[in-house]
């Protein structure tokens, strides 16, 4: 746990974990702790963000992130509007900034944005006065995913510092991998990646990240195995011979996990391609914390919304019953 206070002020926006200090990251996780309990109540609603208007602007498909933000906003009593590219004037050629400026003209407070272009969230944040939260931009960043992953690892081990985390799969095309490598390193974990060399960014070792070519070695080494899918929609060439071949060489199977430490856990951000990067008996097995990740996503997003709205971390417990 960190000492919380003025240092935790996040500024106007949350674009990427590279903009946050270790203390700010751990402070967000601490702020999420009291918010976990709200989702366990019979009536899952507190008036913390009453009067705040939040627009969820999703220009790329999403299940977990979009619904998780929407639950977080509704549980904090914010007024929310959901906009996707299909059915909006984006289909008629309206730009991202014009869409956002029109929303601003309706007097909103925050925008949660997912976009297919790297840098879209920063571009928007620099042009509108509302708070902007990045819900995933191209191959750049997915900061709230990394925060919920950090919270899930801390829940299991008590601390992130000193833990060995290996991300296995398509690192090259993954904004989740980029945000998580940043978050894990800032929080003092040992970090490794594993996958076909074609899917590992050149020079990643310079960040202090170890590279494993064999998933068996990675499994023996790590406390946390973070499995990623192959992002076929972002690939423009033959990065792997076939999905079957990928599963044969890098697939996370219960047989391969036999050599893991007893307390090793498996994470996946979703969506999963069962039978490709992960087998069903692992995804649904005793080492999997994939559904606790989803549960923690709501609490982490509540914490981020609360802090960006000016809430004080040390008052999060008592603020559950009133405005920030
Ligand atoms: N983890 C994640 O970003 O999932 P969605 O694409 O469903 O939001």
pLDDT digits (tens, 9 = 90+) for 163-201: 999 999 999 999 999 999 999 999 999 999 999 999 999
What distance in Å separates the CA atoms of residue 83 and residue 317, rounded to the nearest whole number? 32
H helix intervals, 2-88: 22-36, 64-75
What distance in Å separates the CA atoms of residue 116 and residue 136, rounded to the nearest whole number? 8
Q: Which of 115, 122, 142, 163 is catalytic?
A: 142
Instruction: Say whether 114 is catalytic.
Output: yes
Torsion-angle region of residue 34: left (phi > 0), alpha (psi -120 to 50) or beta? alpha
Q: Is the separation of the CB atoms in 90 and 320 below 8 Å?
A: no
Instruction: Say whether 178 is catalytic.
Output: no
Residue 27 pLDDT level (bands cut at 50, 70, 90):
very high
pLDDT at position 235 is 60
What distance in Å separates the CA atoms of residue 65 and residue 67, rounded to the nearest whole number? 6
Residue 236 pLDDT level (bands cut at 50, 70, 90):
low
pLDDT at position 1 is 37
Residue 176 C-alpha to ligand 1 middle, in angstroms? 9
The DSSP bridge pattern shows strands 79-84 and 110-115 to be unpaired
Degrees, nearest 5: CA angle 7-10-13: 165
pTM of the predicted protein model: 0.94
Domains of the chain by range and CATH? 6-142+294-319 (3.40.50.1370), 144-289 (3.40.50.1370)
Q: Alpha-carbon torsion 131, 182, 136, 61, what sign?
A: negative
Atom of ligand 1 nearest to the CA of 65: 8
3-class state of residue 179 by DSSP:
helix
The DSSP secondary structure of 227-278, one letter per residue, reads: E----GGG--S-SSS-HHHHHHHH-B-TTGGGGS-TT-EEE--S---BTTTB
65 CB less than 6 Å from ligand 1?
A: yes
Q: Is the separation of the CB atoms in 240 and 198 below 8 Å?
A: yes
pLDDT at position 100 is 87
Least Cα distance to 268 among 250, 293, 231, 249 occurs for 293
pLDDT at position 3 is 41
Q: Which of 90-94, 256-260, 280-284 has the lowest mean pLDDT?
A: 90-94
143 CB less than 6 Å from ligand 1?
A: no
Q: Which residues contact 283 (CB under 8 A, 6 or more apart)?
A: 266, 268, 272, 274, 290
Instruction: Say whether 234 is catalytic.
Output: no
297 CB less than 6 Å from ligand 1?
A: no
The whole-number average pLDDT for the span 27-46 is 94
Atom of ligand 1 nearest to the CA of 270: 1
Measured in whole angstroms, the distance separating CA 34 from the mean position of its chain's CA atoms is: 19
Interhelix angle 143-157/290-308, rounded to 10 degrees, is: 120
The whole-number average pLDDT for the span 234-254 is 83
- Residues 212-234: tens digit of each pLDDT: 999 999 999 999 999 999 876 66
Task: Indicate the DSSP class of residue 134.
Answer: E
- Please confirm whether the linkage preceding 56 is cis (ω < 30° from 0): no
Q: Which residues contact 116 (CB under 8 A, 6 or more apart)?
A: 59, 60, 137, 138
Please give the C-alpha separations between residue 120 and each of 145, 147, 184, 303, in angstroms, as whole numbers. Answer: 17, 20, 24, 23
The tokens for 245 are 């071949």
pLDDT at position 6 is 54
The tokens for 319 are 């603020």
pLDDT at 323 over 60: no
What distance in Å separates the CA atoms of residue 171 and residue 182, rounded to the nearest whole number? 13
Interhelix angle 175-186/22-36, rounded to 10 degrees, is: 100
Question: What is the chain's length?
Answer: 324
What distance in Å separates the CA atoms of residue 224 and residue 222, rounded to the nearest whole number? 5
């Amino acid at each position: 746990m960190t000492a919380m206070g003025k240092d935790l002020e996040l500024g106007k926006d949350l674009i990427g974990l590279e903009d946050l200090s270790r203390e700010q990251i751990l402070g967000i996780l601490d702020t999420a702790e009291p918010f976990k309990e709200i989702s366990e109540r019979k009536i899952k609603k507190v008036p913390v963000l009453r009067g705040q208007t939040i627009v969820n602007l999703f220009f790329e498909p999403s299940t977990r992130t979009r619904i998780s933000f929407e639950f977080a906003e509704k549980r904090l009593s914010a007024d929310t509007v959901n906009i996707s590219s299909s059915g909006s004037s984006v289909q008629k050629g309206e730009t991202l900034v014009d869409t956002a400026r029109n929303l601003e003209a309706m007097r909103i407070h925050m925008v949660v944005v997912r976009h297919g272009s790297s840098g879209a969230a920063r571009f928007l944040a620099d042009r509108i006065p509302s708070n902007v939260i990045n819900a995933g931009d191209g191959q750049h960043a997915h900061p709230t995913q990394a925060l919920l992953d950090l919270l899930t690892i801390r829940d299991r081990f008590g601390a992130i510092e000193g833990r060995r985390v290996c991300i296995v799969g398509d690192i090259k095309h993954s904004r989740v991998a980029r945000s998580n490598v940043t978050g894990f390193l800032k929080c003092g974990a040992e970090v490794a990646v594993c996958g076909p060399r074609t899917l590992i960014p050149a020079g990643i070792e310079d960040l202090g990240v170890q590279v494993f070519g064999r998933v068996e070695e990675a499994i023996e080494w790590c406390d946390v195995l973070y499995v990623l899918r192959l992002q076929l929609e972002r690939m423009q060439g033959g990065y792997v011979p076939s999905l079957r071949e990928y599963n044969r060489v890098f697939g996370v199977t219960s047989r391969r996990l036999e050599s893991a430490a007893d307390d090793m856990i498996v994470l996946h951000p979703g969506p999963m391609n069962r039978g490709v990067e992960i087998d069903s008996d692992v995804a649904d097995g005793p080492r999997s914390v994939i559904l606790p990740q989803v549960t923690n996503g709501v609490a982490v997003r509540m914490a981020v919304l609360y802090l960006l709205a000016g809430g004080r971390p040390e008052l999060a417990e008592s603020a559950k019953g009133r405005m920030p």
